[in-house]
C-alpha cells in the first residue's frame, strides 16, 4: 500500500512539471529566428558540436562512485542489524573496510583524485 502511495506522489509531482511546461508552451509567444536558436557561445558563432571528447576524470569518478556506493549499500543492512550481531560483526566490518581502504589508498597514490 505504501508503495502505491509513492506511485500517487510520483504522478502528482510529475504532473506538476508536465502541466507547467504545457501551459507555458501554449501561452508564451513564438517568434523564432535563426540567431535566437543558435547555441550560446558568448556571442561568437558556435564551432562544431559540443558533444565531443571530454576529460577522462569524469569517467573515473563515476566508476569510483559505483565501487564505493556499493560499499555503502553493503553497510546499510549491517548497520541496522548491528546491535544484534555484536563484536563479530564489528570485526567483519573492519575486514571489509580495510579491503576497501587498500583500494582507496591505491587510487589516492595513482592520483585519480587529483584534479588539474
> Footprint of other proteins on this chain (CB under 8 A)?
1-6, 8-10, 12-14, 16-18, 20-21, 23-25, 27-32, 36-42, 46, 49-51, 54, 57-58, 61-62, 64-65, 68-69, 72, 75-76, 79-83, 86-87, 89-90, 93-94, 97, 100-101, 104, 108, 113-116
The string of DSSP letters for 20-53 reads HHHHHHHHS-----TTTTSPPSTTSPP-S-S-S-
- Complex with other proteins: residue 37 or 102, whichever CB lies closer: 37
Cβ contact 86:28 at 8 Å: no
Q: Minimum CB separation from other proteins for residue 51, in Å?
A: 7
- Complex with other proteins: residue 94 or 106, whichever CB lies closer: 94
Q: Minimum CB separation from other proteins for residue 12, in Å?
A: 4
Amino acid at each position: 500500500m505504501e508503495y502505491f502511495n509513492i506511485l500517487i506522489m510520483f504522478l502528482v509531482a510529475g504532473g506538476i512539471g508536465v502541466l507547467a511546461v504545457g501551459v507555458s508552451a501554449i501561452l508564451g509567444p513564438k517568434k523564432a529566428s535563426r540567431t535566437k536558436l543558435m547555441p550560446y557561445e558568448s556571442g561568437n558563432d558556435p564551432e562544431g558540436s559540443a558533444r565531443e571528447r571530454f576529460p577522462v576524470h569524469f569517467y573515473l569518478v563515476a566508476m569510483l562512485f559505483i565501487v564505493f556506493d556499493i560499499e555503502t549499500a553493503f553497510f546499510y543492512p549491517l548497520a541496522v542489524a548491528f546491535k544484534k550481531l555484536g563484536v563479530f560483526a564489528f570485526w567483519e566490518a573492519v575486514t571489509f573496510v580495510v579491503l576497501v581502504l587498500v583500494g582507496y589508498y591505491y587510487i589516492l597514490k595513482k592520483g585519480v583524485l587529483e584534479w588539474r
